[in-house]
Amino acid sequence: MPKVLYEKRDRIAYVTLNRSEAKNAIDPETHELLWRTWEDFRDDDDVDIAIMTGSGDAFCAGADLKTFIPEWIQNASANRVRDNVKTGLGGLTRGLHRIYKPVIGAINGWALAGGLETALACDIRIASDRAQFGSFEARRGYHHGDGGIVRLVNTCGAGIALEMLLTAEPIDAQRALQCNLVSRVVPHEQLMEEAERTASHILRNSQRAVRSAKETILDVIGRPLDDQLRIEALNAYATADVEETLGLLQRFYEKRDAGRSGTHETPLSS
């Protein structure tokens, strides 16, 4: 069986880490497969959103401690480290993180170390009630290097990042929800259904608007307020396609826009 499963259905790309015997740890081959998968997702106009999950009882245990980490520790020359800055772990963490199509992480179990980094690189994280999150690297003599610290601070704040990284102790799904690490927690057997429901909400929208919103969010993080406001205004007022937007407005006027709430409800399938 391939180490990464990749399927496409109804404008959704399904990316599943498939090394359950190794808790879906990312070895060099899996890293390359993920890189090619995310490139294909980026370039395929027939898919607009991805759902990423893991097989078995883990989302991802991070970089493989037998085949990935030792080789890096022993052969991390300055030039190789410099080249690695362009690639990250599995591509989504760094290098292909500027794909503006949304990525939903369906966190089905353990998300550890580089697996936590991979989860954090997803735009929306939905957790099974069995999920566990942890940064165990300090137990092994190193720490996050593929976006884990940056995204944990940006998402949860310095306090949570310091606790998780310095103690190297895991947190469960409910604590992750309290920390803003995940958007919601659902019963394990409902995880993919909830991820697909979230995807359907995104797919009803203008994908031009969705991708511009993601781009804008990535662009404003960490900038001064005036820069943030300028970027938001430039992106927002330049986003709309005249034909698409006027057509969507007409659907609103006629009370038939998909997913409409209130007195004139309209299902997403309309």
- The pLDDT score that the predictor gives to residue 231 is 96
The DSSP call for residue 74 is H
Say if residue 109's pLDDT is above 50: yes
β-pairing, 132-134 vs 171-172, is: antiparallel
Taking Cα atoms as reference points, which of 218, 216, 246 lies closest to residue 233? 216
Q: Are the C-beta atoms of residues 259 and 204 closer than 8 Å to each other?
A: yes
What is the distance between the alpha carbons of residues 229 and 218, in angstroms, rounded to a whole number? 13
**H or E stretch covering 73:** helix 69-75
Kindly report, residue by residue over 57-95, the tens digit of the pLDDT.
Answer: 999 999 888 887 777 677 777 887 787 778 889 999 999
- The pLDDT score that the predictor gives to residue 261 is 65
Q: Which amino acid is at 133?
A: F
What is the distance between the alpha carbons of residues 169 and 140, in angstroms, rounded to a whole number? 13
- The pLDDT score that the predictor gives to residue 263 is 65
- The pLDDT score that the predictor gives to residue 141 is 85
Say if residue 165's pLDDT is above 90: yes
- The pLDDT score that the predictor gives to residue 46 is 97
Kindly report, residue by residue over 188-205, the tens digit of the pLDDT.
Answer: 999 999 999 999 999 999
- The pLDDT score that the predictor gives to residue 84 is 77
Say if residue 168's pLDDT is above 80: yes
Residue 50 β-bridge partners: 13, 103
Say if residue 258's pLDDT is above 90: no
223 or 64: which leads in pLDDT: 223
Q: What is the pTM of this model?
A: 0.91
- The pLDDT score that the predictor gives to residue 173 is 98
Q: How confident is the model at residue 152 (pLDDT cuts 50, 70, 90)?
A: very high
Taking Cα atoms as reference points, which of 31, 25, 3, 29 lies closest to residue 16? 3
What is the distance between the alpha carbons of residues 161 and 227, in angstroms, rounded to a whole number? 26
Kindly report, residue by residue over 5-43, the tens digit of the pLDDT.
Answer: 999 999 999 999 999 999 999 999 999 999 999 999 999
**H or E stretch covering 192:** helix 191-203
- The pLDDT score that the predictor gives to residue 270 is 46
- The pLDDT score that the predictor gives to residue 111 is 97
Highest mean pLDDT, choosing among 23-37, 142-156, 244-258: 23-37
* Angle of CA points 95, 203, 212, to nearest 5°: 50
- The pLDDT score that the predictor gives to residue 69 is 72
3-state helix, strand, coil in the chain (%, to 5): 45, 15, 35
- Active-site residues: which are they? 117, 137
Task: Give the mean pLDDT of 91-111.
Answer: 96
Task: Give the mean pLDDT of 162-179.
Answer: 96
